[in-house]
Structure 1
Amino acid sequence: MSGISMKRVSQLTALALLIGLAASTSFAAETMPTLTLSTLLGQHGIAIDTRPSAFYNGWPQQANGPQGHEPQALNLSASWLSAMNDEQLSAWARQHQLQAETPVALYGSEIDNVKVASRLQAAGFTHLSTLSDALSQPDRLQSCRTLSNWFTRSGCTICSRVKR
């Protein structure tokens, strides 16, 4: 084969791989069941916020957007995954008392949910879903601002220094 033909074959192969990756990512997100927060909590499950931790902590993603995270939610930002090996991810799960059979509902962007779901599935988690009503009720969201008010009244010196 000539150099031009080989280059064309390589380009087509790369394109096919990208299309396959996009299709599998979309398929994974579409096949994950959805749960409401009340259903999840009724199953003694846990919500995991896959957004960057700044948004989890209460910084708005957009002007007048939701601030904070769902009650009792954990933060496992998809952006952390490249810095976490499997052992560190397992340690994170143990630290939060998560077991493979714990019902877990993810929320954040679709692509972030898929990335986190993939890693959790590889770690043995079997009950993964997305949170269908995530961030839809601002009055139930928790943030550093909300927690700092509580800690200030409770006498916590660390959170009382958080600017309101």
Structure 2
Amino acid sequence: LNNINPEDVRLLSESGGMVIRFTTSGEFVTDLQSLTDGYGIDKIIFGDGNIWSRADILYWAKEGSAFYGGTSGADQIIGSEYDQRLSGNLGADYIDGRGSSDIIFGDGGNDTLAVSISMLGDIDQLDGGEGNDTVTFQDLSTPVFVDLVLNQGEVRTSDTFSASTSSDRLIATLIGVENVID
């Protein structure tokens, strides 16, 4: 895919096939047999040199995540207790994965990405994308420790009411986020 990088693509499993959506343009391509009986796309080669194998494609399209994408307006996207890929697309969006291990993209616009539930084993990946983006932990019941410098965007909690102990667990990673509210 010339001039397309992995962060510009969202995959969605649909009726045994796969939809490849390009977040930069909103356009999409449908491969009707990509997930059945070995037919379809074997690899995707991106403009930046990254290569997704068939296993990568199957994971991103089917195994690891449900996908929901917003519109060009200001959306409120609330997830579920399942692993999901949530994308705001354009506009000033509010996105909350609501538990499990979610991959959340703010994409274009000044977005708010929320972590309101984090159970043992849940690790969210939050990518603000373009714009002036904020991550909020206001509805999480325990304090968090956010490190945007030394550990490149790690968020940890001790699951107690005192932040930063030796047994803190990782609950999220942050990319492209300008503001944090805890």
TM-score band w.r.t. shorter chain: under 0.3
User: Please, what TM-score do these two structures have when normalized by structure 1?
Assistant: 0.25
Q: Which has the higher helix share?
A: 1
Bigger relative CO (Cα 8 Å, ≥ 6 apart): 1
Higher-Rg structure is 1
